Structure 1
């Protein structure tokens, strides 16, 4: 892809990144309650500076979650609106994988098993394991919603950590030698992941946030109904 815009507002941070003819520009700021006010202007700033119109993009990528309920809805709505109006494909990218990519970008010499853990509130974590293999980033299991009481089980064979969940007990008591608890999803890494061969574009109306909590609650309700039969 020659021209690609990436957006993220899944955490306390808000970011946008633009690939235009081989050059990448980027905006990032901490805006816990300013996603609605900042995300679209960030995208406009990058596009105007590059002299690009939205319909000159090849696609738009975004952090699809898991993450902040409100932030995910903001990013999804903005991306759907931009893509729909310009008839562009959308590339949803996992925010946990984006954090892993950010870790790999900033810690290129670290290999092994990485645990990305994000504070999901309500005494729970969003979590996923990845294998860092040189320049390769490999999924090592499914994304999970994990009660903090069960979080110790995530630590098996972990060599590195990233994400806000590492600020919480019990993870903060058992940090590996290389751990970046301050790392947030960044549109710069979403841009990178959206350019990979395994990225899957969808139509604008198919772009949906991934909350994880919804799917877990649905599984619980299904199990309860089944057990009651």
Structure 2
């Protein structure tokens, strides 16, 4: 039996919520870069009302743990923690890059996905994924053994370890750094997925629930990948 899971994500320009219950998914999604804090809770109320349940009826609360916008990731995890605390729910963090791989399978049936989110500062958040027979995704190690990384796109080619087959592109990084990424030594096809969606986070969270991979609300943590933010000093500033 599948778990009753509420999922939410605000890690990118997209804001989304999904409820997975009784084998069906109720979802809301809107690209609203500056309105996440206004949109997310009304979306939660809508899907719970449509599903005919309350927060206390859920088994778990899933959230997009990143990578993505620092502010967006913080908003998402903060709201998710608040909801989980109030309803005493365990939490499940899901990679936003893996969620885009799942979305690409949902929309295009692609089983090999290369996901790239524009990380600004001439870098991308990168992940390469192969779908397994049970529906889970295997992340392929890229930079220094990391399965997901932040990296300048022009440096990515030297770290690729899996190049066989045709890979479907997902994420905003492909439009932001077209020249560098299109020159990768991979056979690729364009995809339709730009952002992670809560409905795909809910699917991936089911696998984690079945394996017992949940945490208490106070232990939920983001994945930024970038440890620090760098910027150019303004003229005259020390």
Structure 2 residue runs without a partner (length 5+): 142-146, 230-238
Partner of 2:173: 165
Q: Secondary structure at the match of 2:18?
A: strand
**Equivalents in 2 of 1:118, 1:48: separation in Å?**
33
Q: Secondary structure at the match of 2:190?
A: strand
Return closer, same or farther for 1:191/1:137 CA change in 2, 3 Å cut-off.
Answer: same
User: Quick check: 1:2–1:22 contact (8 Å CA) kept in 2?
Assistant: no
Partner of 1:26: 27
Structure 1 residue runs without a partner (length 5+): 219-229
TM-score after normalising by structure 1: 0.85
Is residue 147 of structure 2 the alignment partner of residue 114 of structure 1? Answer: no
**Equivalents in 1 of 2:173, 2:71: separation in Å?**
19
User: Quick check: 2:119–2:125 contact (8 Å CA) kept in 1?
Assistant: yes
Return closer, same or farther for 1:24/1:182 CA change in 2, 3 Å cut-off.
Answer: closer
Q: Which of residues 200, 217, 222 in structure 2 aligns to 1:209?
A: 222
Return closer, same or farther for 1:81/1:136 CA change in 2, 3 Å cut-off.
Answer: closer
Is residue 213 of structure 2 the alignment partner of residue 200 of structure 1? Answer: yes
Q: Secondary structure at the match of 1:138?
A: strand
Q: What are the within-5 Å matches in structure 2 for residues 118-137 of structure 1?
A: 118-133=117-132, 135-137=135-137
Q: Which of residues 142, 145, 153 in structure 1 aligns to 2:158?
A: 153
RMSD of the alignment, in Å? 2.1
Identify, as 1 or 2, the structure richer in helix: 1
Return closer, same or farther for 1:149/1:199 CA change in 2, 3 Å cut-off.
Answer: farther
**Larger displacement relative to structure 2 (83-92 or 175-184):** 175-184
Partner of 1:100: 101
**Larger displacement relative to structure 2 (83-92 or 46-55):** 46-55
Partner of 1:140: 140
**Equivalents in 1 of 2:50, 2:102: separation in Å?**
26
Aligned length in residues: 214
Q: Cα distance, 1:56 vs. partner?
A: 1.1
Is residue 18 of structure 2 the alignment partner of residue 12 of structure 1? Answer: no
